[in-house]
Chains A and B, each alone.
Chain A
């Protein structure tokens, strides 16, 4: 085992441990903010594994999209809402936890047997491409054109939906307070009643 292989081996172990630990953290932390931060750890470890697999572009894209955009937005939403709420302890909570753990263990066993039983084609003679970006681009515009375009339409739909939800047409200048009478403070953005879409 030379230097490069040793580093690769140690990195694989380290990244896997990090990823599993962080993933467990996402599920097991009571505080949702911690879960969101450990989710970033999961994404980063996956990016590290991509680097070990010679997929540097995919790895950078993983960091950019999942850590830089998705995770930041999740955190942003959590912190903007920031509702400190103590939940009432649910009676017989252990039943729910136990069944969830059982289902998870079942799925894990299923996937593990799948991984072990399948004979993966390992072609060690395959040389990683020099420029992965060009290869990915060529695939996007030839044999993967349809999934690529469908994904972009999906994103467009999400965009339009977000704008529709976010665009509140608030009413300005319709205060009905009488003189000498303080109206109760309204803590909501006034919204114009919307006609139901036929």
Chain B
């Protein structure tokens, strides 16, 4: 397996060349990937918001943002600046501390989950052993923040929204975890890097998409429900409960919810691409191409091209799923709460269990294809 580029080692070696001790060089390196990932996640959100506005416009035969930058590409930035300068209103009789803490608790776990998103063999913050399990654990914290903001707003719609969010995220966490478990079972590891490596080698034919079609559907439906995207956006259903737990929020606190929901969407899309579409893997195996062109795998240009292609491929796959999510939002009606819970408990959960069982059986029967 081609190790690819190791940026950390290069960086630390360069700094040590300037006469820094190895410890100090490493300490300088430590915050850099985190900062890069924060900026990357925020830019990813801006792109997703722009896509949302453009695609919704297309779905409704409008033009959408047009004059703010070329093709209206700066519209989300203008949105963000507007929210920064808005007055921060805390309703009377609300609970000011919980009101403040709610959005913070919603946003932090989502950003933390970017720890485990790989863009290449070494292009991630850290390759944790528990990998994908960390994401499942962190995403289970979010409903506490939603309940907190719903309670603190001192508003019945906010409380109903918070309760709906908690019920929804608890019910859909189980099919989500079952879908992930089937993938983990095939790759014998929770680490996202191992999951991608297990799929690579045969190009597009090796991706989990072909081995786990039911798992992919299951995962994507559950992820949409966890993100509270349109067919499942009951916690903030405008026509019923104003805006759910966000009703009383304004300014930056509202912006945190907004940011959190889009970061979560992009994160889910990234994880779909990692779990089912081979992550940074190119549809045609790059080793094969390099072999055909007689380029040695140690060629530095090839390594840079591979790394860059990896990032581009991951983002392309992820934004394909973001596109599907946005299209769904503007074309599909909302489900009712009983339909939502029925779908989660009576349909997705049994399918998830059957999928897991079949994966286990196939793994025993055909170890060469299902990761023995």
Q: A75-B166, A131-B189 are in contact. List 8 more A-B contacts (CB 8 A).
A: A3-B26, A61-B133, A64-B136, A73-B170, A79-B151, A79-B159, A79-B163, A133-B129
Closest B residue to A37 using CB positions: B148
Inter-subunit contact B163/A72 (CB<8 Å): no
Q: Which of A43-102 contact B (CB under 8 A)?
A: 44, 56-57, 60-61, 63-64, 67-69, 71-73, 75-76, 79-80, 82
Q: Which of B92-151 contact A (CB under 8 A)?
A: 98, 128-130, 133-134, 136-141, 143-144, 147-148, 150-151
Count the B residues whose beta carbon is within 8 Å of the partner chain — how many? 30
For the complex of A and B, the 7 pairs showing the least CB-CB separation, nearest first, are: A68-B140, A60-B137, A64-B137, A63-B137, A75-B147, A56-B130, A60-B133
- The listed residue (A79, A130, A132) touching B162 by CB distance below 8 A is A79
Contact with A along B231-242 (1 / 0, CB 8 A): 000000000000
CA distance A63 to B26 in the complex (A): 30
Mark B residues whose CB is within 8 Å of A.
23, 26-27, 98, 128-130, 133-134, 136-141, 143-144, 147-148, 150-151, 159, 162-163, 166-167, 170, 173, 189-190
Inter-subunit contact B170/A57 (CB<8 Å): no
Contact with B along A6-34 (1 / 0, CB 8 A): 00000000000000000000000000010
CB-defined A-B contacts under 8 Å, sample of 5 = A60-B137, A68-B143, A71-B144, A132-B129, A133-B190
Distance in angstroms from B119 CB to nearest chain A CB is: 22
Inter-subunit contact A60/B134 (CB<8 Å): yes
Inter-subunit contact A76/B144 (CB<8 Å): no
- Secondary structure at the B interface, as helix, strand, loop or mixed, is helix
Q: Assuming the A-B contacts A2-B23, A133-B129, are A33 and B144 also in contact, with contact meaning beta carbons closer than 8 angstroms in the complex?
A: no
- Secondary structure at the A interface, as helix, strand, loop or mixed, is helix
Q: Please give, as numbers and ranges, the residues of chain B lying within 8 Å of A42 by CB-CB distance.
A: none
Q: Please give, as numbers and ranges, the residues of chain A lying within 8 Å of B138 by CB-CB distance.
A: 63
Count the A residues whose beta carbon is within 8 Å of the partner chain — how many? 27
Inter-subunit contact A57/B130 (CB<8 Å): yes
Inter-subunit contact B128/A56 (CB<8 Å): yes
CA distance A82 to B140 in the complex (A): 23
CA distance A67 to B145 in the complex (A): 11
Inter-subunit contact A3/B136 (CB<8 Å): no
Inter-subunit contact B147/A76 (CB<8 Å): yes
Mark A residues whose CB is within 8 Å of B.
2-3, 33, 37, 40, 44, 56-57, 60-61, 63-64, 67-69, 71-73, 75-76, 79-80, 82, 130-133
Closest B residue to A33 using CB positions: B151
Q: Assuming the A-B contacts A37-B144, A72-B170, are A56 and B27 also in contact, with contact meaning beta carbons closer than 8 angstroms in the complex?
A: no
Inter-subunit contact A60/B130 (CB<8 Å): yes
Q: Please give, as numbers and ranges, the residues of chain A lying within 8 Å of B162 by CB-CB distance.
A: 79
CA distance A80 to B129 in the complex (A): 38
Closest A residue to B173 using CB positions: A68
Distance in angstroms from A167 CB to nearest chain B CB is: 14
CA distance A46 to B149 in the complex (A): 24
Inter-subunit contact B137/A72 (CB<8 Å): no
CA distance A72 to B98 in the complex (A): 15
